[in-house]
Structure 1
């Protein structure tokens, strides 16, 4: 099993951050299913102020390309992503249109 760590910022507004968290306490069932269908076995998101940190554990069949293709073909995922973009802000250094960015592991004990 492989693990990825990703980062993303939120719009720095306490009301929007609270709403974003509310959405993530009850994600749409279609979104949960799309994550599982892509090969994600476990996903956790943590927040400090407006910075998000995600840990994804994936099966051997997972690839970001496959997930991107599945997401692009899923109308409900596209609706969710558009909705979430109201709350999200690209992290410094992200490419144009890029949301979550993969972080490099620099230490392990």
Structure 2
């Protein structure tokens, strides 16, 4: 199993942030989105927020490729609609490349037993 950590900002608007969080409650995420995430090989996904900064942690099999997994997800039913909706709340990081939405973070430290 390998882990990916990605980051993105929300628009700095308390009302938008509250709505974004509502969409990410257990009953707020569309079932097709959950099915699509799993069908692309992602075993677990967590999103954390501090202020308007988001951090997403993904876990997937060792042979999972992040770019091709996200590309496959983009072709699934309702994903384009969900992405457009989420885009109303999100803003790219200033250092994101033109094709990047969520930016993969570089691991710089790890501590294990």
Using structure 1 for the length normalisation, give the TM-score: 0.93
63-72 vs 42-51, greater mean Cα deviation: 63-72
> In the alignment, does 2:98 pair up with 1:96?
yes
Superposition deviation, residue 34 in structure 1: 0.5
Determine helix, strand or coil for the equivalent of 2:24.
helix
Bigger mean CA offset, 30-39 vs 89-98: 89-98
Counterpart position of 1:5: 5
User: Residues of 2 paired with 1:96 and 1:37: CA distance?
Assistant: 27
1:1-109 matched pairs, under 5 angstroms: 1-25=1-25, 26-109=28-111
Contact 2:49 2:55 in 1 (8 A): yes
Alignment partners' CA distance in 2, 1:11 and 1:98: 17
Structure 2 unmatched runs, 5+? none
More helix per residue: 1
How far apart, in 1, do the equivalents of 2:94 and 2:45 lie?
A: 23
Alignment length, in residue pairs? 109
- With normalisation by structure 2, the TM-score equals 0.90
Q: Choose 60-69 or 71-80, whichever is displaced more.
A: 60-69
How big is the alpha-carbon RMSD for the aligned residues of Structure 1 and Structure 2? 1.2
